[in-house]
Chains A and B, each alone.
Chain A
Amino acid sequence: MSLIQPVLVVALAIVCILFIISVRVRAVGRLLLLALFASGVAFILRPDLANSIAHRFGVGRGADLFLYLFGVFAMYGFVRIYARQRLLERKLTELTRSVALDEGRRPETSRAA
């Protein structure tokens, strides 16, 4: 076993624990996370597993396959975050506008309004 393997397993475990603590996850989510963790550990301990899957997809190395998948998921996450940010911006605008309109001040010496 190379040094990187236990380091990765421990890091993965810490991330999973932090995720469960900080984000309220439902039972299904926890099971999914556990499955993800198990497969992560499997790929760390048996790099040849990733390689053989990669070969089936016509990719040279397991590490490359993971890089490609990571790229796709990262882009998906980016788009999701961007859309969410636009939505939040719109809600914030509506909130700010309604407060502004409610607090609007009319001229004291009222001319034709």
Chain B
Amino acid sequence: MGSMGGIPRKSCNVMVVVPGYNEGAVLADTLSDLCARGYSVVVVDDGSSDNTAQVVSRFPVHYVRHRINLGQGAALETGTRYALRNGADVIVHFDADGQHPAEQIPALIRPIVEGTADVAMGSRFLRKEDALRVPAIKRAVLRLGTVISAMLVGVWLTDTHNGFRALSRRAAERISFRENGFAHATELLQQIRRYKLRHVETPCTIAYTEYSRQKGQSIFNSVNIVTDILISRLIK
């Protein structure tokens, strides 16, 4: 495996962080896809009580486990720290549930590998065909989310709560998620602004499977996210 989509592997150490909480049922598909493409993967088991550990043991991947469930933001932070310790140059955040497209990782990380960006974020709204795949209600909520985060944080994006993203080593060393839950996505934007990191959005296709629809964030959760961010702004 000499190159992936034209990117020389030797020059750049990519590590994919896959956080999961009781995602054992779908993790195998996600991991076999990533491993088949030759990625170095770290699974962060966020205190799962299912067969996650057993599934992971079948794959040549790194495995860290939170003894207790802390939340997605905390799991991503742990995975990112792990990747930094293991010498990663580029860190990719990737959902365990198969929503994120492994074949689009090369396109996502390209700006970072080429040194034109520190943070690359997947967006469902850069291409019309991707946007149309998002269920209509969810599309409206996400649109509202972009407006709210622009007002709160001052970073304009087309898609805010898309977990498919890549960080350069430089960015990962600066960014730290203190919000353990889902508010970390907004927190990321705050830190991009604070540390003046160069960010870019890359088009990505999200697969809305029946599984992800059931497991994904309820749109009501966006209220919680906004509340978390507001409280954290007040407390700081």
Q: A interface vs B, CB < 8 Å? A: 83, 86, 89-90, 92-93, 96-97, 99-101, 103-113
Contact = CB atoms under 8 A, between A and B. Distances in A.
Contact of A97 (B9, B59, B74): B74
B180 A89 contact: yes
B82 A104 contact: yes
Given A97-B74, A99-B67, A100-B67, A112 B62 contact: no
Contacts of A99: 67
Contacts of A107: 59-62
A83 to B, nearest CB: 7
Contact of A105 (B40, B64, B67, B77): B64
A96 B68 contact: yes
Nearest to A110: B60
B63 A105 contact: yes
Given A97-B77, A100-B44, 11 more contacts: A92-B70, A96-B66, A100-B65, A100-B66, A101-B64, A101-B78, A106-B62, A107-B61, A107-B62, A109-B60, A113-B62
B141 to A, nearest CB: 27
Contacts of A105: 62-64
Contacts, number: 59
B235 A100 contact: no
Contacts of A112: 9, 13, 38, 40
Interface of B: 9, 13, 38, 40, 42, 44, 59-68, 70, 74, 77-78, 81-82, 85-86, 178, 180, 235
A107 B57 CA distance: 8
B212 to A, nearest CB: 25
A83 B235 contact: yes
Contacts of B60: 107-111
A49 B14 CA distance: 74
A101 to B, nearest CB: 6
Nearest to A107: B60
A113 B40 contact: yes
12 contacts: A86-B235, A93-B70, A96-B66, A97-B77, A100-B44, A100-B65, A100-B67, A103-B64, A105-B62, A110-B60, A112-B13, A113-B86
Nearest to B61: A107
A88 B78 CA distance: 18
B78 A100 contact: yes
B40 A101 contact: no
Given A86-B235, A97-B74, A111 B65 contact: no
A103 B65 contact: yes
B227 to A, nearest CB: 13
